[in-house]
Amino acid sequence: MEKRGKMKVLVLGGDGYCGWATALHLSHEGFDVGIVDSFHRRLWDYELGAKTLTPIKTLPERLKVWKEITGKSIDLFIGDITNWNFISSVVNDYKPEAIVHFAEQRSAPYSMIDREHAVFTQVNNVVGTLNVLYAIRDYVPECHLIKLGTMGEYGTPNIDIEEGFIEINHKGRKDILPFPMQPSSIYHLSKLHDSNNIQFAGRVWGIRTTDLHQGIVYGTITPEIEKDLRLINRLDYDDVFGTVLNRFCVQAALGHTLTVYGKGGQTRAMLDIRDTVQCIRLAILNPIEKGHYRVLNQFTESFSINEIAEKVKMAGDKLNINVKIEHLANPRVEKENHYYNPTNTKLIDLGLQPHYLSDSLLDSLLNIAIRYKDKADQSVIMPKVNWRKTYNTRINKLPC
């Protein structure tokens, strides 16, 4: 049943790409919102020498602008959720009714740079999530955790992908069990470890959790961000944090060839940032029973890398940009041609009204890439992280 009324929601990682858009959306919708952030994401920009294309302001400046134009305040807690004393005190003091958890290292290439980055990714993601689970258990046991997972946990099995669970018939007996997972990077493995830990927390401690297995998110604009350009979100296009659609749009804006890894048959689930924030709100307003663990596959469409490249090329044609496509040797270890048919009905049933890529590509991505193309650094676009070997010669050694 949908929960109504003003609620206190804590957004972990609220300075990041998905977290920032979500915090503004929830504040606009009347929730009391608090943001927790350690600013690691901004530190990684300096470490990698690759800044977001869009000119984002500091988080205190962003929050000041939001209050100025809406009259709504968002609370800010600066710290690292891998620090138990910090996150336990925040949860105990703030007493959230829901926690939205984005506070993780979210890049597969970053996790595959070398041993150091692989270990950091696992420790940061798994320990941080464990701390959040213990804080909920000890201080707010009725709180609903909405945890961002990834469609990448599933891998690319040769069967339809269900939403978290699958009915198994084996030797005359039947059960509903977690869907078999085949993650393709250290990052995706960390998300699978999170999923196992939060399932355990539900069975043993009665914590209620929604695990959102999210596809690739695109877009910088939401209705809240449209209110003032000073609220603009990130647009990452580099080889480590830039998603494939962002990278292609910036390449097109620069007159650079679109670089497809391998054969380009790799198929990925995708959704607009406006649908990400919708999904979070719907999950909060429709909580599950205490002790239950729910998986929602959070995407609206799926495309092969070749199809994405062709869509960007066609969008460029409309703007009189001569976009060319080339194939590179694939730096990743992945199936380049595979079956892919994931299910995504639960969020639609909750009321999600999707935005589709064909409707939003020009205004929300390519035009923004063109507007800020003078800020782009072409040297950070081509792939430098190879799944098969360590690469660290361009990493600036900053503390993680």
DSSP string for residues in 137-165: HHH-TTPEEEEEEEGGGT---SS-B-SSE
HEC profile of 360-384: HHHHHHHHHHHHCHHHCCHHHCCCC
399 CB contacts (<8 Å, ≥6 apart)?
none
Residue 246 in contact with residue 236, Cβ under 8 Å?
A: yes
Residue 110 in contact with residue 118, Cβ under 8 Å?
A: no
Q: What's the CA gap between 3 and 208, in Å, rounded? A: 14
For this structure, is 150 an active site residue?
yes
Strand pairing class (173-178; 165-170): antiparallel
- The catalytically annotated residue of 150, 210, 243, 259 is 150
- The catalytically annotated residue of 17, 94, 154, 187 is 187
For this structure, is 318 an active site residue?
no
261 CB contacts (<8 Å, ≥6 apart)?
305, 327, 328, 329, 330, 331, 332, 383
**How far is CA 26 from each of CA 3, 338, 389, rounded to the nearest angstrom?**
14, 38, 42
229 CB contacts (<8 Å, ≥6 apart)?
none
- Phi, psi at residue 217, to the nearest 5°? -100, 140
The closest of 315, 302, 331 to 367, measured between CA atoms, is 315
DSSP string for residues in 298-317: E-SEEEEHHHHHHHHHHHHH
What is the token pair recorded at 174? 């039947």
What is the token pair recorded at 348? 């639609």
- The catalytically annotated residue of 191, 210, 243, 276 is 191
For this structure, is 191 an active site residue?
yes
Residues known to be catalytic? 150, 187, 191
